[in-house]
Amino acid sequence: MIRKKICMLGSYAVGKTSLVQRFVEDVFSDRYETTIGVRILKKQLQVEGADVTLMLWDLHGDDEFQRVRPSYLRGASGYLLVADGTRADTLEKVAELHDFAGSHLGDVPFLLLINKRDLEGEWEVDGEMEERLKRLGWSIHHTSARSGDGVEAAFSELAHRMVRG
């Protein structure tokens, strides 16, 4: 049995909470998170025959406006950077968060999710920026928390990369 901590990082309202919610089953109103500023959810999956439990850390509501605290990241084995395809500025923010996470976690696996794929007609994010990041070796997924497209695949790629180490 393997347990891993994963953090969700991204601007406000890009869909972090919705993605996590989409990925885990059964969420029933938890009250503690409002007080301590994080919400933790759990997902069990199989990676190459091994049982893996992911503890997903997501910032709660208003706290996202504040600076992400280093303690939130501590010990994470991987992270998901989330941007909103309909807001180009959220992709810039992602680069900043990536630097921040890297400085605390070092070289751990991460993915970039460009979310709200179902609104592709309204996308501001252009392919060029994406290409640049890809050339830097970033793995990028287009997801939709709304339809569920690409969500499972993204989390499971991250899980595989973390487990393979």
Partner 1 sequence: MPDAEKGAAGEEPAPDAKPELEQLRELLVGHEQRELRELRERFDRAEVTAEDVQRVLPDAVLLRSRSDDQLSEALTPTIEGAIEGSVRRNPQALADAIFPVIGPAIRKSIREAMSSLLESINRTVEHSLSPTGIRWRLEAARTGRPFAEIVLKHSLVYRIEQVFLIHAETALLLEHVVAPTVATTDPEMVSSMLGAIQDFVSDSFSAGERDIQTVEFGELTLQVASGPHALVACVVRGISPPTLREEMQQTVEDIHASRSKDLRVFGGDVAPFVMTRPSLQGLLVEQRAEKEKKKNRVGPAVLMVAVPVVVLGLAIWAFNSYHASRRWSGALDALLEEPGVVVIEADLDDGVHRIRGLRDAAARDPLELLQQHGIAAETVDARWEPYHALEPSLVVRRARTALAPPDSVQMELRGETLVVWGRADHAWIERAEAEARFVVGVTALDLSTLIDEDAEAARSRAGNLSNRSISFAPGSARLDYSYSRTELSRFCDSIDELVDTALFAGLRVRVVVHGGKAANEDDPRLAAARAEAVREWFEERYFGATPAHDLVVSGSEAVSWDRNGVLLGIELVDRDGAIVPPR
Contact positions vs ligand GDP (CB under 6 A): 10, 12-18, 64, 115-116, 118-119, 144-146
Cβ closest to ligand GDP, residue 93 vs residue 116: 116
Q: Look at residue 12 and give the partner it binds from ligand GDP, partner 1, Mg ion, none, a contact being a CB closer than 5 to 8 Å depending on partner kind.
A: ligand GDP
Query: Binding of partner 1 at residue 121 (CB under 8 A)?
Result: no
Q: Kindly state the tokens that stand for 146.
A: 């709304």
Nearest-5° Cα angle at 54, 101 to 94: 25
**What distance in Å separates the CA atoms of residue 101 and residue 78, rounded to the nearest whole number?**
10
Dihedral pair phi/psi, residue 66, rounded to 5°: -80, 170
Nearer to ligand GDP, 64 or 73 (CB): 64
User: Rounded to the nearest whole angstrom, what is the least distance from the CB of residue 82 to Mg ion in the complex?
Assistant: 10
Q: Is 38 in the site for partner 1 (CB under 8 A)?
A: yes
Strand, coil or helix: 58 = strand
Q: What is the DSSP string of 68-125?
A: PPHHHHTT-SEEEEEEETT-THHHHHHHHHHHHHHHHH-S--EEEEEE-GGGGGG---
Closest by CA to 7, choosing from 46, 39, 33, 30, is: 39
According to CB under 5 A, which residues from 15 to 74 bind Mg ion?
16-17
Q: In the complex with partner 1, which residue's Cβ is closer, 133 or 143? A: 143
With CB under 5 to 8 Å by kind, the binding choice for 57 among partner 1, Mg ion, ligand GDP, none is partner 1
* Residues contributing to the site for partner 1 (CB under 8 A): 1-5, 18, 27-29, 32, 35-38, 40, 42, 52-53, 55, 57, 69, 71-72, 74-77, 146, 162-163, 165
* Residues contributing to the site for Mg ion (CB under 5 A): 16-17
